[in-house]
Amino acid sequence: MHERTQDAMSYVRTYGKPDLFITFTCNPTWKEMKEELFHGQSAKDRRDLVARVFRQKIIKMMNLIKKCIIFGSIRCDMYTIEWQKRGLPHAHILLWLNNKIHSNQIDLIISAELPDPNTDPVLFHIIKKTMVHGPCGNLNANSPCMVNGKSIKRHPRQFVNETQTGIDGYPLYKRRKPGHGGVSTKIKVNNGIEVDIDNRWIVPYCPLLSKAFEAHINVEFCIFIKSIKYVCKYVNKCSDATMYALQNPNLNDEVTTYQCGRYISSSEAF
């Protein structure tokens, strides 16, 4: 862990800020998983499939990025996998490009809008299924992102006619209103009620990656150096652990009454 942290810091010290920040989340409905499930099983019952398929998908994605140079040639890269206890594993990926992305090129790589269903119905279905945040707020007060009545993910975002560079490490991506170039659709929330969704609820994505892997793949353009902190905190922190004691009530032995055990989830174990 310490060596990987030093590697990450040397990247920043030598090459400066990363250019792209990608979060790649496992999709439990991938056909590679569904074809191997027994009758009545779901992905949560087969953590071996989740770990193996997700590993293969990451290898394919990194090959697509580094060997097929879809974003241009890569100077260096790093990623770490977060193994959630009850959720799905996801990878946080940082990319340093040889040719820096200029602000007027962001829209060529990243989109935060629903695709036109008439032009590309396949991509529209993928984005509608995997890249819509929540909804939360007034549409769904029980959303996991709601804390003290507000969304910690800052959704819904504001409408923006053109992409603007932001002040918090990420730009304000183009999100046009319906009727002004934007698209809207309807989705069902947990209570079964249909709600209208527009570009304010779309998580930024790369159309090529989303179409290739059919999963939740958040792609962000990095402006400032602090964007690396999010990934490095996962590199820095050690494995989850628990403190426990096995003690005879009549025995006062600090060695036997204090133990530290590492926590490994089923996905990480596989």
Note the pLDDT tens digit of each residue in 124-160. Answer: 999 999 999 878 877 777 777 778 777 777 778 889 9
Residue 24 falls inside a structural domain: yes
Range in 7-16, 23-32, 211-220, 221-230 the model is least confident about: 221-230
- The rounded percent of the chain whose pLDDT value lies above 90 is 47
Average pLDDT, stretch 28-32? 93
Find the length of the chain: 270
Domain housing 135: 2-236
Q: Is pLDDT larger for residue 209 or for residue 188? A: 209
Which tokens hold the place of 50?
A: 């989740």
Interatomic CA distance for residues 236 and 77, integer angstroms: 17
Q: How much is the pLDDT for 194?
A: 84
Residue 108 falls inside a structural domain: yes
76-109 confidence digits (pLDDT tens): 998 888 887 777 899 999 999 999 898 889 999 9
Q: How much is the pLDDT for 67?
A: 94
Q: How confident is the model at residue 7 (pLDDT cuts 50, 70, 90)?
A: confident
Q: How confident is the model at residue 60 (pLDDT cuts 50, 70, 90)?
A: very high
Question: For the chain, how big is the Rg over CA atoms in Å?
Answer: 21
Q: How confident is the model at residue 224 (pLDDT cuts 50, 70, 90)?
A: confident
Q: How confident is the model at residue 231 (pLDDT cuts 50, 70, 90)?
A: confident
Residue 184 falls inside a structural domain: yes
Q: Which pTM was predicted?
A: 0.86
Q: How much is the pLDDT for 260?
A: 67
Residue 63 falls inside a structural domain: yes
Q: How much is the pLDDT for 16?
A: 87
In the numeric block, the tokens 């193996």 are attached to 52
Residue 148 falls inside a structural domain: yes
In the chain, DSSP finds a helix count (H) and a strand count (E) of: 9, 10
Q: Roughly what angle, to the nearest 10 degrees, separates helices 2-15 and 229-236? A: 160
CB 140 within 8 A of CB 134: yes
Residue 118 falls inside a structural domain: yes
Distances (CA, A) of 99 to 72, 122, 169, 240: 7, 31, 19, 38
Sequence-distant contacts of 218-221: CB under 8 A, at least 24 apart:
218/22, 218/23, 218/131, 219/20, 219/21, 219/22, 219/109, 219/110, 220/20, 220/21, 220/22, 220/110, 220/170, 221/19, 221/20, 221/21, 221/101, 221/106, 221/109, 221/110, 221/170, 221/171
pLDDT over 80 (residue 113):
yes
Q: How many independent structural domains does the chain possess? A: 1
Q: How confident is the model at residue 188 (pLDDT cuts 50, 70, 90)?
A: confident
Interatomic CA distance for residues 216 and 25, integer angstroms: 5
Across the chain, mean pLDDT equals 85
Residue 131 falls inside a structural domain: yes
Q: Is pLDDT larger for residue 72 or for residue 171? A: 72
Residue 255 falls inside a structural domain: no
Q: Is pLDDT larger for residue 143 or for residue 70? A: 70
Q: Is pLDDT larger for residue 184 or for residue 167? A: 184
Sequence-distant contacts of 227-232: CB under 8 A, at least 24 apart:
227/17, 227/18, 227/21, 227/169, 227/170, 228/8, 228/12, 228/17, 228/18, 228/94, 230/21, 230/92, 231/8, 231/21, 231/78, 231/79, 231/80, 231/92, 231/93, 231/94, 232/5, 232/8, 232/9
Range in 46-60, 123-137, 239-253 the model is least confident about: 239-253
